[in-house]
Amino acid sequence: MEALPRLPFATRIVKEGLAELVVPETGEAQATTRLPAFYNPLSKASRDLAVMVTWAYFSERNCGSAAEPLAGTGARIIRLLLESGVVSEGIAGDISEWAVRLIEINIERNGLAGRLRVKRSDANLLLSELAVSGRAGYVDIDPFGSPVRFLENGFRATERQGLLGSSATDLAALSGSSRRTAYWKYGLTLVRTNFYRETAIRALAGVAVMTASRLSLGAEPVFSAAYRHFVRVFLKVDRGKSKAYQTRLQVRYLIHCKACLNTSVIGEAQEWRERCSVCGGPNTLLGPLWIGRLADKNLVEKILNSRFASDPNYAEAVKIVRAVAEEPEDVPWSFQLAEVSRRARTSPPKVMQVIDRLREMGYRAAPTHYDRAAIKTDAPSDILTKIVKELAHN
Ligand SMILES: C[S@@+](CC[C@H](N)C(=O)[O-])C[C@H]1O[C@@H](n2cnc3c(N)ncnc32)[C@H](O)[C@@H]1O
Ligand SMILES: [Zn+2]
């Protein structure tokens, strides 16, 4: 067996996708931010998605270079180079000395010397340098917590017609559980609803689109999802004021009634109505949020018809893509069946029974990718409540 490199902390070798990586030894403990360099095996699906989405987005024309300014042990960008087949070269950065050392070791170990460079740098500095010296086709921002302070330079560093991928793990703020943080960090008015994970995706996408539009860039999600501890959005970047305006117009507000769960889209906050149009209960306001499509249908189809779809290595991420593909694409909220049932004072029926009934009635409906016991449908909440009551009495 090949000897592990001499470092002042214990390491181990992990295999992920086609990469073989030297990472810090965590023992029984989970990956924490206190480690000398950060590798989280639970984020594998996030890296799988990055490989598949990058491949699908760039398969007709090579991506050229990729940049990962918060690279940890290099797992993500190394896998992009080894597995996507569309990334020729890359640059990895990290502020941590030990992360950079491990990235160097992992570049050698995976035969990527000459194709992947590494630099110890603050992410914003690295991205600014790229913005000036040569942009990357794909930029991936994968920080601890919030990406918000890296997004602007992320867009500056992304080629026009390129792709920017970003994760966030500060779900309490983005989903409306920490309303104060949502407000001061993101400028969002949020409240926790029964579709809080949908809110988190759309909050991140909305903030990204507004950041791009300030730079006269259009940004449009081509794939987004919430899974485990993270939300992730991949945005196509377009040049021009009219693209910026068109995409910015899809960042709007929701009004949501906590009494009957009725939700609707409004353009601007001032269109807000205090009382629910269905039950007269008090409305709450959420936004601004991205209310356009979470995913591009063609890109999703491409992934589902690709070599990835039948490769067990990608099974977890392919499942997410498949579930996103089934969701009605123009409904920016969902209903937790347990919550609808609780309000209707009945026990929850089976999810598929409710979905079949909705479809029989001509509505579109599917379980959500982030919660198989939640339903995304264009049916109004009172119809859903009626079905839940009917099915409970059968
Ligand atoms: C979540 S980890 C990255 C994991 C990696 N992207 C992956 O998929 O395995 C975040 C990384 O950002 C680094 N970091 C934190 N602040 C930074 C900054 N201002 N500039 C550059 N790197 C930073 C940390 O050292 C850490 O390695
Ligand atoms: Zn209501």
Question: From the CA of 265, how far away is ligand 2's center (Å)?
Answer: 14
Using the predicted structure, report yes or no on whether residue 31 has a pLDDT greater than 80: no
Is 171 a member of any domain? yes
DSSP string for 211-266: HHHHTTEEEEEEEEEEETTEEEEEEEEEESHHHHHHHHTTEEEEEEETTT--EEEE
CATH of the domain at 232: 3.40.50.150
Whether 126 is in the pocket of ligand 1, judged by its Cβ within 6 Å, is no
Same-domain pairing of 173 and 283: yes
Same-domain pairing of 339 and 190: no
Using the predicted structure, report yes or no on whether residue 1 has a pLDDT greater than 60: no
Closest ligand by atom to 153 CA: 1
Is 195 a member of any domain? yes
Whether 143 is in the pocket of ligand 1, judged by its Cβ within 6 Å, is yes
Secondary structure of residue 364 in the 3-state scheme:
coil
Same-domain pairing of 91 and 177: yes
Averaged pLDDT, 370-387? 97
Is 28 a member of any domain? no
Atom of ligand 1 nearest to the CA of 40: 9
- Domain end, chosen from 233, 267, 290, is at 290
Whether 31 is in the pocket of ligand 1, judged by its Cβ within 6 Å, is no
- pLDDT of 335 reads 98
Averaged pLDDT, 222-248? 97
Is 358 a member of any domain? yes
Using the predicted structure, report yes or no on whether residue 30 has a pLDDT greater than 70: no
Same-domain pairing of 341 and 259: no
Using the predicted structure, report yes or no on whether residue 363 has a pLDDT greater than 60: yes
Same-domain pairing of 52 and 115: yes
Tell me, rounded to whole angstroms, the distance of Cα 18 from its chain centroid. 23
Whether 371 is in the pocket of ligand 1, judged by its Cβ within 6 Å, is no
pLDDT tens sequence across 238-264: 999 999 999 999 999 999 999 999 999
Question: From the CA of 340, how far away is ligand 2's center (Å)?
Answer: 12
CA atoms of 322 and 306, how far apart (whole Å): 12
Atom of ligand 1 nearest to the CA of 75: 9
pLDDT tens sequence across 93-130: 999 999 999 999 999 999 999 999 999 999 999 999 99
Residue 118: DSSP 8-state: E
pLDDT tens sequence across 35-46: 777 899 999 999
- pLDDT of 83 reads 98
Neighbouring CB atoms inside 10 A of 363's CB total 17
Secondary structure of residue 100 in the 3-state scheme:
helix
Residue type for position 351 = V
Residues within 5 A (CB) of ion ligand 2 = 257, 259-260, 262, 276, 278-279, 281
Question: From the CA of 356, how far away is ligand 2's center (Å)?
Answer: 25
Q: With pLDDT > 90 as the criterion, what percentage of the chain qualifies?
A: 91
- In whole numbers, what is the pLDDT of the chain averaged over residues? 95
Same-domain pairing of 272 and 338: no
Is 141 a member of any domain? yes
Question: From the CA of 107, how far away is ligand 1's center (Å)?
Answer: 17
Whether 99 is in the pocket of ligand 1, judged by its Cβ within 6 Å, is yes
Same-domain pairing of 381 and 243: no
Same-domain pairing of 140 and 280: yes
pLDDT tens sequence across 158-167: 999 999 999 9
Q: CB–CB of 375/349 below 8 Å?
A: no
Is 166 a member of any domain? yes
CATH of the domain at 348: 3.30.56.70
Total domains, the chain: 2
Is 253 a member of any domain? yes
Pairing relationship of beta strands 230-239 and 158-168 according to DSSP bridges: antiparallel
- Domain end, chosen from 234, 263, 290, is at 290
Out of 16, 23, 38, give the residue to mutate to test ligand 1, the one with the largest number of ligand atoms within 8 Å of its CB.
Answer: 38
Same-domain pairing of 166 and 245: yes
Same-domain pairing of 80 and 174: yes
Is 383 a member of any domain? yes
Whether 72 is in the pocket of ligand 1, judged by its Cβ within 6 Å, is yes
pLDDT tens sequence across 49-87: 999 999 999 998 899 999 999 999 999 999 999 999 999
Same-domain pairing of 137 and 274: yes
Same-domain pairing of 354 and 221: no
- Domain end, chosen from 238, 273, 290, is at 290
Domain, as residue range, for 348? 334-394
Averaged pLDDT, 144-155? 98
